[in-house]
Amino acid sequence: MVLALTGRVAEYEAAMGIPGDLGERAFRGWLTCELLRETLGWPCHLIVSGEVFDLLLLSARTRSPRVYVETKRPADPLKLPQHERETLDRCSRYGLGTLEVAYLTNGWHWRRYRLSSPRGVIDATFEAEVHVRDATAEELDDLLVDLRPR
């Protein structure tokens, strides 16, 4: 599923000449609709998308942010540590105390961070990294386990 979504962005960019980061927005939209909603079963009212933050997935019980997904344009490689720092800074602003997990992805490259805020400051632990083209189905399932609603 993830490979198909990412490949679609490249196909559409080539066919239609989508400028700038519209490729990121298209990827984020398909990720929301096809992976989060249709495949994993996220209810629409628990997915919040914005301009500064990309995707916040809310707890069904408390309606507070549980998972943050930072998306980047699939045609561009992740810029580490810059994108990592920006992602974790956003986590500090939008979910202090409730966010459990953050993902940083351009579709091809995924990174997962375990989050906590025991001292009122986000503490992030890098947990996993997968390059979709090289990953087994099991590795992808393990990486995306926290994207399942609960």
Cβ atoms 54, 91 nearer than 8 A? no
Residue 140 sits at the vertex; the CA angle it makes with 138 and 144, to the nearest 5 degrees, is 120
pLDDT at 38: 93
Cβ atoms 24, 73 nearer than 8 A? yes
Mean of the pLDDT values across residues 105-122?
A: 89
CATH of domain 2-147: 3.90.1570
Residue 41 in tokens: 């079963």
pLDDT band at 70 (very low <50, low <70, confident <90, very high): very high
Domain regions of the chain by residue span: 2-147
Residue 92 in tokens: 């500090």
Per-residue pLDDT at 21 exceeds 70: no
Report DSSP letters for 89-119, one per residue. Answer: HHHHHH-TTT--EEEEE-SSEEEEEEEE-TT
pTM summary value: 0.90
